[in-house]
């Protein structure tokens, strides 16, 4: 790889969400603020949506890192479960061993008792669901019923959902209209803005050990932004491939040609006219 060539101690443009590389773009910070404000209200659902690769999972991990010991979290990274299994998965995350699995009523009764105990200890329960667009409608309704558990003063739990735009389509179904009305805060994550692309590239390079973070000149950055439409995951894929090409030629900086060739080798990019490339 090109680590020694560019003076790096790790790869700067991996696609695995890594909180050490977090770049606080405007949209990322706005989304985090929405989560924290919604959490402070203590009621309703919070929904964060965004296209594939816009950083929802990274935002979720950053959000979880802000929580304190008085906040108990049930985190579900893969919620494609039928209602009863969903309840059991949440219970397991909360450290509750449910007995009497014969019907949903008994499950909810045990759940309610456990949540009341947590509330008596001054703990707030948060259910955090990633990839929420994959949930069946029946499970979304079960989640709404679970959110009904409350005391006279406040709800016993709060639900945060992260999902792709398909989640909005699913919530438009009349069968889950009651849940949709309970979404108190929501935010739609865009990609990077054009003025942020250069800062994003330089930030990740410096975190990975590069002295100056100036591997991508402005012209290369502009083309990379156009090819990726500002989607962070695509920016990472293109930047990694372009750096490989520069390394293969013994160059210390990435040219527009390197970015253009990286784009040819990457699927899922928008088609650009010749004048946009040149």
What's the rounded Cα separation, in Å, for the pair 183 and 190?
20
For domain 3-14+193-277, the CATH architecture is Orthogonal Bundle (1.10)
Cβ atoms within 10 Å of 60's Cβ, excluding its own: 23
Size of the chain in residues: 278
For residue 139, give the nearest of 175, 183, 105 by alpha carbon.
Answer: 175
Output the pLDDT for position 212.
86
CA separation for the pair 168, 155 (Å, rounded) = 24
The pLDDT value recorded for residue 274 is 42
What's residue 271's pLDDT? 60
Q: How far is it, in rounded angstroms, from Cα 235 to Cα 219? A: 15
What local confidence, expressed as pLDDT, does residue 100 receive? 56
pLDDT score for 76: 94
Positions of CATH 1.10.8.60 in the chain? 3-14+193-277
| Phi–psi pair at 183, nearest 5 degrees | -80, 105
pLDDT < 70 stretches in the chain: 98-103, 151-153, 268, 270-278
Would you state the pLDDT for residue 152?
64
* Per-residue pLDDT, 202: 95
Q: In this predicted structure, what is the pLDDT of residue 205? A: 95
Predicted pLDDT of residue 266 = 86
Partners of residue 159 on adjacent β-strands: 45, 127
CATH H superfamily, domain 26-189: P-loop containing nucleotide triphosphate hydrolases (3.40.50.300)
- Residue 146: enclosing H or E segment and its boundaries? helix 137-147
pTM of this structure: 0.86
Dihedral angle at the C-alpha atoms of 41, 47, 53, 58, nearest 10 degrees?
Answer: 30
- In sequence order, the 6+-apart residues with CB closer than 8 A to the CB of 198 are 216, 218, 221
Q: SS3 for 126?
A: strand
């Amino acid at each position: 790889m090109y680590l020694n060539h560019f003076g790096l101690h790790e790869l700067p443009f991996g696609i695995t969400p890594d909180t050490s590389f977090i770049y606080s773009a405007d949209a990322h910070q706005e989304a985090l603020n929405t989560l924290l404000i919604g959490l402070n209200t203590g009621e309703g659902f919070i929904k964060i949506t965004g296209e594939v690769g816009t950083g929802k999972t990274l935002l979720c991990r950053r959000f979880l890192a802000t929580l304190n010991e008085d906040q108990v979290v049930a985190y579900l990274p893969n919620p494609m479960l039928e209602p009863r299994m969903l309840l059991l998965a949440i219970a397991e995350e909360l450290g509750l061993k449910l007995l009497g699995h014969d019907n949903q009523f008994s499950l909810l009764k045990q759940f309610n008792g456990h949540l009341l105990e947590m509330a008596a200890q001054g703990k707030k329960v948060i259910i955090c669901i990633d990839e929420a667009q994959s949930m069946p409608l029946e499970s979304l309704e079960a989640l709404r019923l679970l959110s009904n558990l409350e005391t006279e003063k406040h709800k016993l739990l709060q639900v945060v959902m992260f999902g792709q735009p398909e989640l909005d389509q699913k919530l438009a179904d009349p069968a889950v209209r009651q849940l949709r009305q309970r979404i108190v805060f929501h935010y739609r994550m865009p990609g990077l803005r054009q003025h942020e692309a250069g800062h994003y590239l330089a930030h990740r390079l410096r975190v990975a050990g590069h002295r100056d973070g100036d591997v991508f000149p402005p012209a290369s950055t502009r083309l990379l932004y156009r090819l990726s439409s500002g989607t962070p995951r695509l920016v990472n894929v293109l930047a990694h491939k372009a750096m490989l090409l520069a390394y293969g030629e013994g160059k210390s900086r990435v040219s527009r040609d390197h970015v253009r060739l990286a784009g040819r080798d990457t699927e899922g990019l928008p088609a650009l006219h010749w004048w946009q490339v040149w």
